Structure 1
Amino acid sequence: MVIAVEHDTELRRRAWNAAAGVVDPEIPVLTIADLGVLREVEVRNGRVEVAITPTYSGCPAMNMIAVEVALALENAGFREPKVRTVLSPAWTTDWISEEGRRKLRDYGIAPPQKVSSRRALFGLQQVQCPQCGSDDTELLSEFGSTACKALWRCRSCREPFDYFKCH
């Protein structure tokens, strides 16, 4: 029995690593592990089941992510993996890893603030420019290049940039 548990633990680690390498189709510098979309990997009797959570309800990328996870698992030697979507608890930007936040910034997207302040409720939110680091920024549009981003501009360097909206 101990051998079976150790075997399942190794299979789970291999399956997690395979799934964790899948990139977000809308922000290809981030993996689903960076985003916190990859929730769980279970192995039972050699069969793998992966749970993913959408960044928001109706996210068009989730179908592609599920297909890519299944392909990554099959390429890693897992036969007929199951990928399921988990809606509760709802995904939050707090699940984005520190590495994911760094990757966003390096890619030119302002990462979401860890905790939304009361100021954000009253339209006084300030977002740091990923280009120059200035806090002197302004919201141009609640809608950016994808539904999960808003368009901002830096008043210091005058560059527009996406901001990954808080959820």
Structure 2
Amino acid sequence: MVIVLQSEAELRQRAWDAAASVVDPEIPVLTIADLGVLRDVVLDNGKIEVAITPTYSGCPAMNMISLEIEIALERAGFRQAKVRTVLSPAWTTDWMSEEGRRKLQAYGIAPPQATGSRRALFGEQVVACPQCGSANTELLSEFGSTSCKALWRCKACCEPFDYFKCH
């Protein structure tokens, strides 16, 4: 029998990879790493602690995400891992990865705009349709299929779509 010892950095990376594989239950094409919800993984005295930040303070998916992280870590060989919710600093769409933004677009959800968008300057928001790419769109409701999305419609292709709201 050969016993292979891993360094703390290797253990932490293995735990990060396991936690990062957890998908958002509301948008299953995104992992929590894509969203920027996964904030940190710490190895302390042989125990793993994962820090996550909700997309907004009342996000109903956080309990499921915490449970899925614990399961993923258990499967990766980490016993009694702890998941901690961190509210400060507050989550921002700036934490989303470019890969996550591409996945949203491909899934039919308009990704959040950069914080320096036209809306920030002039109070106007232009959201491109994820189906046809037209900027001729209109806001139907500030509330979409989940609280973190708004419902828009494309005037060019007439399709409704969700827009992942900026935070």
Name 2:130's counterpart in structure 1: 130
Matched residue type, 2:65: I
Matched residue type, 1:100: G
Alignment partners' CA distance in 1, 2:147 and 2:61: 11
Q: How far 1:123 sits from its partner (Å)?
A: 5.0
> Superposition pairs for residues 106-117 of structure 1, below 5 Å?
106-117=106-117
Moved more, 122-131 or 137-146: 122-131
Give yes or no for contact 2:24–2:32 (8 Å, CA) kept in 1. yes
Q: Secondary structure at the match of 2:48?
A: strand
Q: How far 1:124 sits from its partner (Å)?
A: 2.0
Alignment partners' CA distance in 1, 2:162 and 2:117: 19
Name 2:25's counterpart in structure 1: 25
1:113-165, Cα deviation, whole Å (9 max, x unpaired): 01154635765211011001111100011110000000000111111000000
Give yes or no for contact 1:24–1:61 (8 Å, CA) kept in 2. yes
> Superposition pairs for residues 15-54 of structure 1, below 5 Å?
15-54=15-54
Give yes or no for contact 2:148–2:165 (8 Å, CA) kept in 1. yes
Name 1:57's counterpart in structure 2: 57
Name 1:162's counterpart in structure 2: 162
Matched residue type, 2:37: V
Q: How far 1:13 sits from its partner (Å)?
A: 0.4
Please report the TM-score for the alignment, with normalisation by the length of structure 2. Answer: 0.93
Q: Secondary structure at the match of 2:7?
A: helix
Moved more, 108-117 or 157-166: 108-117
Alignment partners' CA distance in 2, 1:143 and 1:66: 25
Alignment partners' CA distance in 2, 1:118 and 1:111: 15
Please report the TM-score for the alignment, with normalisation by the length of structure 1. Answer: 0.93
CA distance 1:123–1:138, change in 2 (3 Å): farther
Matched residue type, 1:155: K
Alignment partners' CA distance in 1, 2:153 and 2:116: 20
Q: How far 1:46 sits from its partner (Å)?
A: 1.8
Matched residue type, 1:58: G
Q: For this pair of structures, how many residues does the alignment match?
A: 163
> Superposition pairs for residues 62-81 of structure 1, below 5 Å?
62-81=62-81
Alignment partners' CA distance in 2, 1:18 and 1:155: 42
1:47-77, Cα deviation, whole Å (9 max, x unpaired): 1000000000110000110000011000100
State the Cα RMSD in Å: 1.5
Name 1:100's counterpart in structure 2: 100
CA distance 1:76–1:100, change in 2 (3 Å): same
